[in-house]
Each structure stands twice: as structure tokens, then as C-alpha cells.
């Protein structure tokens, strides 16, 4: 079961910037994504990456934030900026016939942001208030402590924020981060939809392929630190909490690891879908929680696996006991052919759905492109899901899911 030819067409602009083209769909709408290696991994100070991304559309050397919004609305376009641990993104949705008018606006946002001080102060104050509210929630406390315990507080993936960090962000710092990371040699462009390919190539080459966009050199990256002596068990007391937030897991590997596709199968069996073992035991059989699941996060430079849930405070210890019991079962006994076959069918169906439509297709290609990989990841994943045996699942579980290796974080009463 395969989604057909999922390979995008690869082109390069005059400055060698890679361009992935997906021509599909019947509606005259185009999505364009810009990916920059400009996530929090690359920042030297807290909030540099996310603040730079958030401020791109708040004003440029040529337009105010209000003028940017008005122009986008006039053409019925939508422009979104975002960032995560590894990358920053600028995403544009536009009617295909207006791409020539919308893309210069995107180019101005990407290449010439002004980081106006008043707008920056307003944005930081809003984010600080949201941060303070989040700090009162047990789910946020558990998530933050889990990252710090798995990677270490000085690791780029484990660092935590403080309220003071919001007071130390300034326009000049964001301008420096932008100068170092939003550049042609640190960018990929993905285009998907129904559009005139020659026209799109010409427009993008004119706006982003010329020599006036800074190129050359290598953007700096954060220093990775190890955490061989991290805390294995952490209990964060919140006497006013009705629920206890649980995170149990461990450090794993980047998305390009040879074991990643196989561990996706193991994770699906454990807690990756509604019929998984954790859901069947802890939700359906015992009623300790409304929802529980496990996630395998393969990042660009590292990774982790985590079992995530919120349970009533009175069920905390019993739920933790059952989670470890499910881990032990996976490590001690191979799964049945029937259970593995059901998991395979579910996973192959999800892979097919991830390519259903031009924008979902782009999203799937982006998920691997942002990790420095290509579409062959999905061919390998499909082969692994199709061919993996109960013994191979068992071997991977014993290698990575032994209870003694787990980090356990509980926040609540």
C-alpha cells in the first residue's frame, strides 16, 4: 500500500536555493512554505528564535504591520510565521492568480523586517502573560521538567524560560538573529497547489534567487551538552491541582536514525492511536483518564519518546504502575501477529492520508525536509511497516523501552 509517486520536483534558483515543487489539486490556490534553520536550537539567548519569527509581519523597512495585513487581506492571502526547536517557517496561502502580487509582500517580510520597538513590547507582554498562566498548569510544568530532565537544562532542547527572559529581548538582538539565519544559504522553499510552474519559478527566482540576498558562510548553532546524570524521577507538588500530569519517557535519537521507522511501529502499539495498549488498559479498562498516548519525537539533532497523560490525583500511583506494566509487557513478550497486523493497517492508512491533497502532501514533505532529509524517508517507512516482524518489534522494545531507563515526571497534588 503506497501513496503513489510522492517525489516533488526539485529545482534551484540562480543562487542555488532549493525549491520543491508539487503540482496537484483542482482548486486555483497555492501554498508556499519557506523553511529556515532558525529554531530555538540556534539561539544564543532565550526567545530569540520565536520572537524573530513572530515579529516578521509586524513591520518592514517599507510597510507597517497594519499595511502588511491590509495588503494580504486585499488579495485574499494568508501569511503565517512560526518556529519550533529546529526551524522557523513562513507560510503563504494565496489564490494562484494573485501570486505575483502576494510574493513581493512575502519577500519584504522575510528580507526586510524592521522589528518596531512598540510592537515588540506589546507582543512580549502578551507572551509573558500567557507564559505566567501556563506556569500554573500541571501539564506545562510536567512538559518543561521532562525536557530538562531528559536533555539537561543547558541543552538547546532542555532549556527552560523565566519571566525575566521576556524583559531581555530587544530589536537589535532580533535584527542580529535575523541577519545570521534568514538567508538564502539557510533556506528551502516548498510550493504546492494548482499554479503556472514557469511563472512561479520566474517570480521566486526574481525575488529570492538574486545576489542581493545575503548568502555565504554558515549560521551559528547552539552547543549541544549531554545529560548523563539527569534526574530519573521528579515530583512537582501542586496542592491546588485536581489532576496529575504524567510524562514518562527517555532520550532517543534524531529522525534520520536507522531505528526511527521501526520505533514508530513500537510506539503505535504502545500508545500511538486510540486502540493502543495504553488506551485500552488505562482509559478503557480502568478509567483512570480520558486520554493517554505516547509520542516518538525525532528532531533534527536529537529526539525523545514520552508517554503523556493527565489522571485524577487519586489514580496517580496506580496509573504510573500500569504504564510501567505495559512497558514491561512489550519488553518481555513479542506482540501477536494479529495485533501487529492491525497496527500496520492503521499506520499505512495514516501514511496514505498524509498525502491526501496538495497541502497535506506539502506538509509531509516539509516534515522531512526540515530534518535535512528527503521523501525517500516515506518509502523506507512504508517498507519497514510492511515487513517488520513481531521479533523485530520485541528487539526494539528491549533496546529502548526498558522501564529502568525511563525518566518519570509527575506534576500535581
In DSSP notation, 13-74 reads -TT--EEEEEE--SSSEEEEEEEES-SGGG-SSTTHHHHHHHHGGGBBSS-BHHHHHHHHHH
Give the pLDDT score at 241: 87
Reported as half-sphere exposure (CB side, CA atoms, 13 A), residue 62 has a value of 11
On whether both 188 and 264 belong to a single domain, the answer is no
Give the pLDDT score at 1: 54
Mean pLDDT, residues 316-342 taken together: 96
Alpha carbons 172 and 130: distance in angstroms, whole number: 24
pLDDT confidence bin for 223, thresholds 50/70/90 = low
pTM: 0.93
Q: Which residues contact 395 (CB under 8 A, 6 or more apart)?
A: none
| Percent of the chain whose predicted confidence (pLDDT) is above 70 | 95
228, part of any domain = no
On whether both 64 and 182 belong to a single domain, the answer is yes
Cβ atoms of 413 and 237 within 8 Å: the answer is: yes
345, part of any domain = yes
pLDDT confidence bin for 210, thresholds 50/70/90 = confident
On whether both 199 and 343 belong to a single domain, the answer is no
- The residue with cell 536507522 is 258
Tell me if residue 135 falls in helix, strand or coil.
Answer: coil
pLDDT confidence bin for 217, thresholds 50/70/90 = very low
Give the CATH number, domain containing residue 181.
Answer: 3.30.830.10
Alpha carbons 148 and 156: distance in angstroms, whole number: 10
On whether both 238 and 107 belong to a single domain, the answer is no
Q: Compute, in degrees rounded to 10, the torsion defined by CA atoms 40, 42, 47, 50.
A: -60
Q: Compute, in degrees rounded to 10, the torsion defined by CA atoms 137, 318, 394, 299.
A: 10
On whether both 394 and 246 belong to a single domain, the answer is yes
Mean pLDDT, residues 148-158 taken together: 93
Residue 47: how many CB atoms within 10 A of its CB? 21
- Domain holding 183, by residue range, is 9-208
On whether both 240 and 203 belong to a single domain, the answer is no
On whether both 87 and 50 belong to a single domain, the answer is yes
**Tell me, what DSSP letter sits at residue 287?**
-
329, part of any domain = yes
Question: What average pLDDT is seen over the chain?
Answer: 93
Task: With a cut of 60, say whether residue 291 has pLDDT above it.
Answer: yes
**What strand order describes the sheet that includes 292-298?**
233-237, 407-412, 243-251, 303-312, 292-298
Give the pLDDT score at 246: 97
367-386: pLDDT as tens digits: 999 998 988 999 999 999 99
Amino acid at each position: 500500500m503506497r501513496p503513489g509517486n510522492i517525489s516533488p520536483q526539485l529545482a534551484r534558483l540562480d543562487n542555488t536555493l532549493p525549491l520543491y515543487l508539487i503540482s496537484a489539486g483542482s482548486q486555483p490556490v497555492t501554498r508556499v512554505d519557506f523553511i529556515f534553520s532558525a529554531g530555538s536550537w540556534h539561539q544564543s539567548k532565550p526567545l530569540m528564535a520565536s520572537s524573530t519569527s513572530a515579529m516578521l509581519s509586524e513591520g518592514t523597512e517599507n510597510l507597517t504591520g497594519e499595511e502588511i495585513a491590509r495588503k494580504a487581506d486585499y488579495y485574499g492571502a494568508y501569511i503565517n510565521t512560526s518556529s519550533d526547536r529546529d526551524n522557523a517557517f513562513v507560510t503563504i496561502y494565496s489564490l494562484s492568480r494573485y501570486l505575483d502580487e502576494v510574493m513581493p509582500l512575502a519577500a519584504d517580510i522575510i528580507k526586510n523586517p524592521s522589528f518596531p520597538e512598540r510592537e515588540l513590547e506589546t507582543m512580549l507582554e502578551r507572551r509573558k502573560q500567557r507564559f505566567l498562566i501556563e506556569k500554573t498548569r500541571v501539564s506545562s510544568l510536567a512538559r518543561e521538567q521532562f525536557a530538562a530532565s531528559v536533555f539537561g537544562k543547558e541543552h538547546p532542547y532542555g532549556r527552560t524560560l523565566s519571566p525575566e527572559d521576556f524583559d531581555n529581548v530587544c530589536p537589535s538582538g532580533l535584527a542580529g538573529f535575523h541577519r545570521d539565519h534568514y538567508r538564502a544559504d539557510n533556506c528551502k522553499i516548498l510550493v504546492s497547489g494548482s499554479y503556472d510552474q514557469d511563472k512561479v519559478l520566474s517570480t521566486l527566482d526574481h525575488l529570492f534567487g538574486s545576489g542581493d540576498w545575503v548568502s555565504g558562510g554558515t549560521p551559528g548553532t547552539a552547543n549541544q551538552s549531554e545529560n548523563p546524570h539527569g534526574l530519573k524521577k521528579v515530583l512537582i507538588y501542586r496542592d491546588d491541582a485536581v489532576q496529575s500530569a504524567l510524562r514518562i519517557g527517555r532520550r532517543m535519537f534524531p529522525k534520520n536514525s536507522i531505528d526511527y521507522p521501526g520505533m514508530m511501529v513500537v510506539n503505535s502499539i504502545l500508545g500511538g492511536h486510540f486502540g493502543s495498549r495504553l488506551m485500552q488498559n488505562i482509559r478503557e479498562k480502568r478509567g483512570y483518564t480520558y486520554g493517554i498516548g505516547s509520542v516518538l519525537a525525532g528532531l533534527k539533532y536529537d529526539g525523545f519518546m514520552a508517554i503523556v497523560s493527565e489522571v485524577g490525583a487519586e489514580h496517580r500511583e496506580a496509573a504510573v504502575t500500569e504504564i510501567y506494566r505495559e512497558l514491561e509487557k512489550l519488553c518481555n513478550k513479542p506482540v501477536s501477529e494479529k495485533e501487529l497486523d492491525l497496527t500496520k493497517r492503521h499506520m499505512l492508512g495514516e501514511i496514505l492520508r498524509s498525502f491526501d491533497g496538495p497541502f497535506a502532501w506539502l506538509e509531509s514533505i516539509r516534515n522531512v525536509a526540515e530534518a535535512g532529509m528527503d521523501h525517500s524517508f516515506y518509502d523506507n517507512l512504508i517498507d519497514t511497516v510492511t515487513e517488520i516482524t513481531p521479533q523485530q518489534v520485541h528487539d526494539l522494545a528491549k533496546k529502548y523501552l526498558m522501564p529502568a531507563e525511563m525518566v518519570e515526571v509527575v506534576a500535581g497534588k
